[in-house]
């Protein structure tokens, strides 16, 4: 895991690319939705943010596992005495940190583009975004191990990941919109429960099933 982080942070290429991608998606969303100047629409901003999260995640997350495939290190890692479960947790942590940084950048850009305020309401979004990023990282870590080793896997990853992510997407958009609009915590709580359930489900499914997809053939 340290290696992944070091590689990403030192090279910095994919992190910069991911942030740039989030920026571009938000710009596209502004043009597509055209939030008239001065109108502070929390729901639209939250929607745009989650579109950026999904697209950046789909494109960025496969890199975390593909780095090993390209230079053949995955074989060495599997052969090493390192537990495969540990390999999963390392990959998941790296993907999560990776996505969380990109999301933090996307939130700042969202506030600027959608003419919102930097205030306490953004803090209320932190758990929503963190849970969303964790859920997507868990999903993508498992799926990228599959699609990374199939022909045309780049096409396949979004086809598999986006339908699976739907419950977290619904909960995330609703919770973010409510948090940005300054709704009471009770309005967010029911969506947070769904996000927690989704994360628990996919982190445990990932840790249980990862050994079946990582095996050599």
* Residue numbers at the binding site for other proteins (CB under 8 A): 142, 146, 149-152, 155-156, 159-160, 162-164, 166-168, 170-171, 174, 190-191, 194, 197-198, 201-202, 205, 209, 212-213, 215, 217
Beta-strand ranges (E) seen in 45-177 are none
Tell me whether residue 104 or residue 201 sits nearer to other proteins (CB atom): 201
Q: Cβ of 159: how many Cβ atoms within 10 Å?
A: 11
Judged by beta carbon, residue 43 or residue 170, the one nearer other proteins is 170
Please report how close the Cβ of residue 117 comes to other proteins at its closest, in angstroms.
28
Distance CA 118, CA 100 (A): 18
For residues 16 and 150, which CB has a smaller minimum distance to other proteins in the complex?
150
The per-residue b/e assignment along 116-141, b for 16 or more CB within 10 angstroms, e otherwise, is beeeebbebbeebbbbbbbbbbbbbb
Q: What is the 8-class DSSP label of residue 80?
A: S
Q: Which pair of tokens denotes residue 9?
A: 């942070």
**CB nearer other proteins, residue 22 or residue 57:** 57
Rounded CA-CA distance 145/161 in Å is 12
Q: Which residues contact 91 (CB under 8 A, 6 or more apart)?
A: 1, 4, 64, 65, 141
CB of 198 to other proteins, least distance (A): 5
Q: Least distance (Å) from other proteins to the CB of residue 44?
A: 17
CB of 216 to other proteins, least distance (A): 8
How far apart are CB 154 and other proteins at their closest, in Å? 11
**Tokens representing residue 29 in the block:** 């969303």
Q: Return the number of the residue (77 or 197) whose C-beta is nearest other proteins.
A: 197
């Amino acid at each position: 895991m340290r290696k992944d982080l070091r590689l990403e942070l030192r090279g910095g290429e994919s992190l910069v690319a991911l942030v740039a991608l989030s920026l571009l998606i938000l710009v596209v969303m502004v043009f597509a939705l055209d939030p008239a100047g001065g109108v502070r629409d929390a729901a639209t901003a939250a929607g745009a943010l989650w579109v950026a999260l999904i697209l950046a995640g789909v494109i960025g997350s496969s890199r975390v596992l593909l780095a090993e495939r390209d230079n053949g290190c995955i074989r060495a890692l599997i052969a090493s005495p390192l537990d495969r479960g540990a390999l999963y947790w390392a990959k998941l942590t790296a993907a999560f940190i990776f996505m969380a940084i990109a999301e933090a950048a996307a939130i700042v850009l969202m506030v600027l583009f959608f003419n919102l305020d930097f205030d306490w309401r953004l803090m209320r979004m932190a758990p929503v975004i963190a849970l969303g990023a964790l859920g997507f990282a868990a999903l993508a870590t498992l799926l990228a191990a599959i699609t990374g080793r199939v022909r045309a896997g780049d096409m396949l990853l979004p086809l598999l990941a986006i339908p699976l992510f739907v419950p977290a997407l619904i909960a995330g958009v609703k919770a973010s919109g409510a948090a940005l609009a300054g709704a009471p915590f009770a309005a967010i709580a029911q969506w947070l429960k769904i996000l927690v359930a989704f994360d628990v489900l996919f982190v445990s499914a990932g840790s249980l099933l990862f050994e079946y997809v990582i095996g050599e053939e």
